[in-house]
Each structure stands twice: as structure tokens, then as C-alpha cells.
């Protein structure tokens, strides 16, 4: 396994002591500054931004190998939820979030030029991609490892893959010679409910979105030993072979104790207990929480700020695999039906302790409501005919050209398939939402841009 050298301070610190070189933290700052500048230039003209206010280059993990720098980056500050899967040669790569402008979000910088991961691999700049597992939100599995896990799991379960039954393995990580993987056993004709199942191993919680594994181990969390034996994760913990922290490190998931339950967000000590009290079925069954926007009221005399409401994101539990979509303001949100909030977004009112789903926000009388819309990810924007995630005069012009036969409507203009609660056709270009694409939509876009119509 090739190990990439991270920018470790103590290495350069030794050099400083011996030769008086610049301290490593300064080198790291300079490198990050250089990456920030070249990546900003690289993104120019390549990134369809959702909203101007969220444009912000974010440099993540940075690794070096000689003159080659590998780094993760995004061209905007909010993460686009939705996994990205890619196969490069014998490597299966998955990113937990979608990034811009390159969906995997991993770049290789060498000799003043930025390359995407695929460009770098094709050019021979990087070959062994196992180092990607050190990047936050990225997993990279060699097909040989997946094959070893699959063969051992087939033998362990005494199952065979057929046209009716699928047996599959997804390796996650390795610790002390044990490769942790999720073992899937399911029938093609079975419709699994979106039921969260979990293993509690010490203080480690591993959750799965549905019962992937066999009945005796619904989460499907297993480990492959060096001798080819397969074990359930909890067996290694109970036998004292691995600690709960080691399993969490290898398999991912949630590791927490009551002493360190909160601390990342400003108001989670208020909102999370209120959330769990109102929706007790989600307690200890969700893997993410974030405060995306907090609206304050300022006391004119004391200048003290009091929180009025907060937009939160809580990774939803899926009650059923029913795909749907809603239009909130100009935004099209699309996904599966979730609990307690349809798409994971909710608004908490501090004074009353009430929660509202994002799809209810247009009906609420909230000051600063536009900031809510700027803080969420969405699939499409109504009227965004050129798909740059902005509403501009270009969209109105494009609409006029389509109506005049000078341009063709885009293939993805019709998004009716996402909506299960409407009988009329739904088009992105139908800005006034009357079910007809005509000059009125171009006029409505122009009025919105001019501020003649308000939300």
C-alpha cells in the first residue's frame, strides 16, 4: 500500500532546528494560498453556481509526493448531497458528496497545472490510488480486494449469485489486518422498506439505510481476516480483538459518548433535544445535523442579538422509497420521502419551539426568508433555461429563441417524472407555472430580475 506523506509539521520542524528553514506551518499556509489562487483561476467559467452568495473556493485535504500535490477542493461553500461513483482502471471510487466543477472533487497539481484525478491517472502522475482513502468523504477500493471479500462472503453465507439473488460486498476500510465490508444479500424481486438498522458496538453505532445483510446480521457489517475467515464486527469487539474506536475508524459511522455529544453548532443543545422530543422515533437514528442559517433579532438599545429561527439539516429517515419533488420558491427539490422533514431541511422557531418542513416555508411569515433559499441545495431552478443556476436575462432570451424556433428546448426541460402529485406537465422553462411554455414565461423572468415581482 502506497502511503502519501501529509504536510506534517514535525518533519519540517526538525529541518528548521538543523538548518533554520522556514517553519512548516508557513510552508503549509503558502501552499494552501497558492492552491486557493490557482484553483480560483481554474474554476473561472467552469462552475454553474447555484447562487452568487455561495461562491467561495474551499481547499480541503492536501497531500504531497515529491513535486506532485493532491488536494480536495470545492468551488462553493455548501455541499451538494448525492454520491458520486467512478471507476478508474481497477479502482472503484466513491465520493459522499457532489463537488464543483469536478464531481469527485480530487485534483492533482504539478508544475503549475491542475489536473482532475482521471487526467492525472491517465497521464501517469498518480498510479496507486489507495491514498484516496485518507481524504475526507472519499472511498477507493481496488477490484481485487472487492473480489476477495465477495468470494469469502459467498463461502461464509453459503450463498450463490443468480438472476434472482444478488450477493455483493463493499469494502470500507482496514485496521490491524481486518478488512471491513458491507455484505449484501437480497432478492431482485424484493422491495425492501427504507428501514434504518444498526449495530451498537461499545460506543460505536453503525447504521444502514435498509437491511442489507442476512437475518442474523441485518446491517451486513463484516470483517475479512488475513487468513480468509469472515467475522461479524461485534464478534471481534466482544473477543477483545479490536476496540470500538478501531472498528469505527475502519467502517465509518458514528462514534460518540454522552460527554461529547454536542459542541459543533451554536444551538444544537436547544434544537436537538427539542427535535428528539417532538420526533422520538429519530432519537439515535440519524447520522447528521447542521445549522445552515440562523436569523437574529437585534435589540436597538443594547445591540444584543436574539435568535428567531434556524434552518437546520437533519439527514432524514426514509419512510418509504417514494420519489417525489416540490417547488419551493424557484427551487426544485427532488428525492425520496423522508422523516421528519421531506428533504432533510427544517425550520425551528426558538420562541414557540415549533418545527416546520422546508416545503412549508413559502407559507410562513418569516423575516429574511430569502436567506433560507440561499442556504439549501437543490436539483433545478425554475426558469434557469441555460442551467447556470442563476436567473438572468439570458434565460429570458433563451426562452424567446426557443419559442421562435431559433433554439431547441433542452432534453431535461420536462421534469414531470419527478412529480407524483400533479397531472399537468412540469417544465423548467415554465416560470409562471401555468403548464404552458410561452412568452409569458420570458416576461415573468424579466419581471423577477427587475424586482417587479417579489417572493
Closest C-alpha to 116, from 133, 99, 141, 139: 99
pLDDT for 401 equals 92
pTM of the model: 0.48
- When pLDDT is averaged across residues 76-103 and rounded to a whole number, the result is 77
Does 453 score more than 80 pLDDT?
no
**Residue 113, pLDDT above cutoff 70:** yes
Between 376 and 214, name the one with better pLDDT.
Answer: 376
| pLDDT score at 90 | 87
Please give the Cα distance from 52 to 388 (Å, whole number): 11
318 pLDDT tier (thresholds 50, 70, 90): low
With cut-offs at 50, 70 and 90, classify the pLDDT of residue 316.
confident
Q: What is the pLDDT of residue 255?
A: 55
pLDDT, tens digit, 9 for 90 and up, residues 288-307: 678 889 999 988 888 889 99
DSSP 318: E
- The mean pLDDT value of the chain amounts to 79
Q: What's the average model confidence in pLDDT over 429-445?
A: 91
Question: What's the average model confidence in pLDDT over 439-449?
Answer: 91
What's the average model confidence in pLDDT over 438-450? 90
Task: Specify the pLDDT at position 327.
Answer: 87
Pair 318, 339: CB distance under 8 Å: yes
pLDDT per residue over 228-273, tens digit each? 999 999 899 999 999 988 888 788 765 554 433 445 678 888 998 8
Domain spanning 380-450: which CATH class is it, in words? mainly alpha
Which pLDDT belongs to residue 178?
Answer: 93
DSSP string, 61-118: EEEEETTEEEEEEEEESS-EEEEEEEEETTEEEEEEEE-SSSTT-EEEEETTEEEEHH
How much is the pLDDT for 239? 94
Average pLDDT over residues 344-348: 93
Burial class (CB within 10 angstroms; exposed 0-12, middle 13-18, buried 19+) of 452? exposed
Alpha-carbon gap, residue 213 to 176, rounded angstroms: 24
Per domain, the residue ranges of the chain are: 5-136, 143-255, 262-373, 380-450
Residue 51 scores a pLDDT above 60: no
Amino acid at each position: 500500500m502506497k502511503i502519501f506523506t501529509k504536510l506534517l509539521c514535525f518533519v519540517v520542524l526538525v529541518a528548521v532546528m538543523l538548518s533554520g528553514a522556514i517553519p512548516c506551518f508557513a510552508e503549509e499556509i503558502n501552499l494552501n494560498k497558492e492552491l486557493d489562487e490557482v484553483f480560483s483561476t481554474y474554476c473561472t467559467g467552469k462552475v454553474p453556481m447555484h447562487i452568487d452568495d455561495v461562491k467561495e473556493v474551499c481547499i480541503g485535504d492536501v497531500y504531497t509526493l515529491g513535486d506532485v500535490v493532491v488536494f480536495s477542493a470545492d468551488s462553493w461553500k455548501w455541499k451538494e448531497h448525492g454520491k458520486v461513483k467512478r471507476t478508474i482502471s481497477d479502482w472503484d471510487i466513491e465520493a459522499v458528496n457532489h463537488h464543483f466543477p469536478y464531481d469527485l472533487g480530487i485534483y492533482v497539481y504539478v508544475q503549475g497545472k491542475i489536473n482532475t484525478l482521471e487526467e492525472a491517472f491517465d497521464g501517469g502522475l498518480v498510479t496507486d490510488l489507495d491514498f484516496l482513502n485518507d481524504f475526507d468523504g472519499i472511498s477507493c477500493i481496488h477490484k481485487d480486494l472487492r473480489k476477495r471479500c465477495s468470494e469469502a462472503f459467498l463461502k461464509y453465507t453459503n450463498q450463490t449469485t443468480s438472476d434472482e439473488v444478488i450477493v455483493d460486498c463493499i469494502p470500507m476500510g482496514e485496521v490491524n489486518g481486518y478488512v471491513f465490508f458491507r455484505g449484501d444479500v437480497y432478492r431482485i424481486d424484493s422491495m425492501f422498506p427504507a428501514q434504518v438498522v444498526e449495530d451498537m458496538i461499545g460506543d460505536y453505532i453503525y447504521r444502514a439505510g435498509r437491511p442489507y445483510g442476512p437475518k442474523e446480521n441485518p446491517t451486513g457489517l463484516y470483517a475479512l481476516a488475513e487468513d480468509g475467515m469472515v467475522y461479524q464486527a461485534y464478534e471481534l469487539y466482544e473477543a477483545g480483538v479490536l476496540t470500538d474506536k478501531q472498528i469505527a475508524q475502519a467502517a465509518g459511522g458514528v462514534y460518540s459518548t454522552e460527554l461529547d455529544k454536542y459542541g459543533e453548532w451554536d444551538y444544537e443543545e436547544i434544537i436537538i433535544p427539542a427535535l428528539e422530543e417532538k420526533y422520538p422515533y429519530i432519537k439515535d437514528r440519524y447520522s447528521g445535523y447542521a445549522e445552515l442559517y440562523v436569523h437574529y433579532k437585534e435589540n436597538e438599545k443594547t445591540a444584543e442579538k436574539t435568535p428567531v429561527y434556524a434552518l437546520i439539516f437533519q439527514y432524514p429517515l426514509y419512510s418509504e422509497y417514494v420519489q417525489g419533488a416540490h417547488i419551493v420558491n424557484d427551487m426544485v427539490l427532488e428525492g425520496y420521502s423522508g422523516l421528519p422533514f421531506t428533504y432533510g431541511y427544517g425550520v425551528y422557531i426558538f420562541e414557540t419551539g415549533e418545527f416546520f418542513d422546508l416545503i412549508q416555508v413559502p407559507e410562513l411569515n418569516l423575516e429574511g426568508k430569502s436567506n433560507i433559499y440561499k442556504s439549501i441545495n437543490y436539483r433545478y431552478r425554475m426558469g434557469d433555461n441555460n442551467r447556470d443556476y442563476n436567473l438572468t436575462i439570458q434565460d429570458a432570451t433563451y426562452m424567446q429563441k426557443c419559442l421562435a424556433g431559433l433554439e431547441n428546448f433542452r432534453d431535461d426541460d420536462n421534469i414531470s417524472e419527478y412529480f407524483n402529485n400533479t397531472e399537468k406537465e412540469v417544465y423548467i422553462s415554465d416560470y409562471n407555472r401555468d403548464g404552458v411554455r410561452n412568452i409569458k414565461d420570458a416576461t415573468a423572468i424579466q419581471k423577477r430580475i427587475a424586482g417587479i415581482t417579489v417572493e
